[in-house]
Amino acid sequence: MPELPEVETVVRGLRPALSGRVITGVWLDWPNCLVFPPVEDFAAQIAGQAIRHLWRRGKYILADLDSATLIIHLKMTGRLYVVPDAAHNEGDRWVHFRFQLDNAHQLRFSDARKFGRVYLTPDPGLVIGRLGPEPLADDFTLDRFVERLAGRRGALKPLLLDQAFVAGIGNIYADEALFRAGLPPRREADSLNTDEQARLYDSIRAALATGIDHEGASVNWYRKPDGTPGESQEHFYVYGRTGQPCLRCGTPIERLIIGGRSTHICPACQPPHSG
């Protein structure tokens, strides 16, 4: 599933093509992806609305329109791209939404697994209101991170995946952040000392920033809006590197299952009782 760096890259790639454009119509063939409004109202409500601002919140893509906000979650296999009306794209075989624009172009939403979600609402808080803070925002300080850690129990890996704790982190960047911090994924959140809290905070931000710098990770379906892959996967420390030598110490990377999710660690750099 695309995480914060991938979604941020998609937003940055789409913004030049969508800013100021008017949505003149919409076609869809998979109503189950549309959460609200009802499908019979969707086309009428969105037609004629201009895209005023495109932004990201957590793993959600938001387009502020004249009188509502269009929200899209890519889920596992979703892709967004803008092309001329007559253009053929390799992702078109899985397109389930086409947003017609006023310049003979279309915003297409391709989603092979059909898990993606689309919302049109005057109140974005109905969708994103429960998300935690943005980990790369200026106001997400170390003090604020420590405050959010206070009283938290349970293992670090599931906590980092909790979107109500911090928004945008998924399986990939949780593994990368924990490695950078030298913390094992099963370490209890309430056991961290002051230095470990600071290391984890810095490592979360560093892992996500590096992901954005390399325009996301194309380990499965993710592609940038221009169709090319991101390069973050070429710079991972642990994720997807099972059996390969740790880039720091040479110990083979191990794959664990924690909470039903694949988790990648260096057993030497992230010992069970580190800290």
Active site residues: 2-3, 59, 261
157 and 259 Cβ atoms separated by less than 8 Å: yes
Contacts of residue 184, Cβ cutoff 8 Å, sequence gap at least 6 = 156, 178, 265, 270, 271, 272, 274
Q: How many CA atoms lie within 13 A of 134 on its CB side?
A: 15
How far is the C-alpha of 96 from the C-alpha of 233, rounded, in Å?
28
How far is the C-alpha of 60 from the C-alpha of 80, rounded, in Å?
12
Q: In Å, what is the CA distance from 99 to each residue of 47, 76, 79, 189, 222?
A: 9, 21, 14, 44, 20
Contacts of residue 7, Cβ cutoff 8 Å, sequence gap at least 6 = 56, 58, 59, 60, 61, 74, 168
Which amino acid is located at 177 in the chain?
A: A
Structure tokens at 12: 């940055």
CB atoms within 10 A of CB 19: 13
How far is the C-alpha of 209 from the C-alpha of 28, rounded, in Å?
35
Which amino acid is located at 87 in the chain?
A: A
Residues paired with 256 in a beta bridge: 263
Residues paired with 81 in a beta bridge: 108
How far is the C-alpha of 215 from the C-alpha of 252, rounded, in Å?
27
